[in-house]
Amino acid sequence: MDVTPVRTSGTSGTSGGHSAGHGHGHGAPAGGPVPLGIPDPARPGAAVEQRRLGPLARLAPDPVKVVLNWGRRYSLWCFNFGLACCAIEFIAASMAKHDFIRMGVIPFAPGPRQADLMIVSGTVTDKMAPAVKRLYEQMPEPKYVISFGACSNSGGPYWDSYAVTKGVDQIIPVDVYVPGCPPRPEALLQGILKLQEKIAGESLAERYADGPDAAPAAPRVPDAALRRPLVGGPGSGPAAGASGAPRSGADR
């Protein structure tokens, strides 16, 4: 059976073939390969299923939206997904000294089905990844995710490991990333404040619509920024080096 991908850019088969790659999972071309939901690095978190919103929420007028956003952001029940060292900082943030109940985040939800906010703290291994996705799917809408610490942001110190998921946003959509290894408990509090600001400005219609209503995708750093042409040495002079002409003659 012919399983070559349906792509006419003419890069198939050469050794430099992945130079144009965004890759996978863009949605099925007609009669083409089945989309496997392989994470697309250009759109983290996009491998999740579409969410649906009822017509009533879409029609809610603005003052009601303000009240609903206020209620939602100050009553986040948190499903603390503590996996590793960052969990200790999370626990510290839930205890007396830096109490995040002051912000309305109640810790220790009985389970994902009663939670609004999932704070992934710690290294997500490939073994744990299906469990993370399953528990995320068990949370009822509207739900938010905070990725806490370097390991859940992007794999962190274990970015090179064969067994680590390089960032939990490969499997679930993340709303706020808190950097640190581990971040201070106050950094988690600031991350929660940032999430609350995000919820305050949220429009549920935009969040759940897939069509003209949908929120515009955040501008991504283009992949081409990572693949510059070679810069000429001092002998070739500034003009040749700065023109950006591809010097990949040695490449092909």
Partner 1 sequence: MAPLPGRGLAKGLAVTLRTMTRRSVTAQYPDVQPELPPRSRGVIGLLEENCTVCMLCARECPDWCIYIDSHKETLPAADPGARARTRNVLDRFAIDFSLCMYCGICIEVCPFDALFWSPEFEYAETDIHELTHERDRLREWMWTVPAPPALDPAAEEPKEVAAARKTADKQAAAAAAAREAAAAPAAVSPSPDSAEEQQDS
Point out which residues bind partner 1 (CB under 8 A). Answer: 44, 96-99, 102, 150, 153-157, 159, 167, 169, 174-181, 183-184, 186-187, 189-191, 193-194, 198, 218, 220-221, 231, 233-234, 241
CB environment 4-16: b (16+ within 10 A), e (fewer): eeeeeeeeeeeee
Smallest distance, Å, CB 66 to partner 1? Answer: 20
Residue 165: how many CB atoms within 10 A of its CB? 23
CB closer to partner 1, 30 vs 96: 96
Phi, psi of 56 (to 5 degrees): -65, -45
Smallest distance, Å, CB 28 to partner 1? Answer: 27
Question: Which sign does the torsion angle of CA 153, 217, 10, 34 carry?
Answer: positive
Tokens of 145: 């995710």
CB closer to partner 1, 60 vs 91: 91
Contacts with 176 (C-beta within 8 Å, 6 or more apart), sequence order: 144, 145, 146, 147, 191, 192, 194, 195, 198
Pairwise CA distance, residues 144 & 174, whole Å:
7
Smallest distance, Å, CB 35 to partner 1? Answer: 23
Given a contact cutoff of 8 angstroms between Cβ atoms, the answer to whether 188 and 195 are in contact is: no
Pairwise CA distance, residues 120 & 149, whole Å:
8
CB closer to partner 1, 186 vs 210: 186
Smallest distance, Å, CB 76 to partner 1? Answer: 15
CB closer to partner 1, 122 vs 156: 156
CB closer to partner 1, 52 vs 102: 102
Return the closest-CA partner of residue 129 out of 153, 79, 164: 164
CB closer to partner 1, 28 vs 242: 242
Smallest distance, Å, CB 185 to partner 1? Answer: 8
Smallest distance, Å, CB 10 to partner 1? Answer: 29
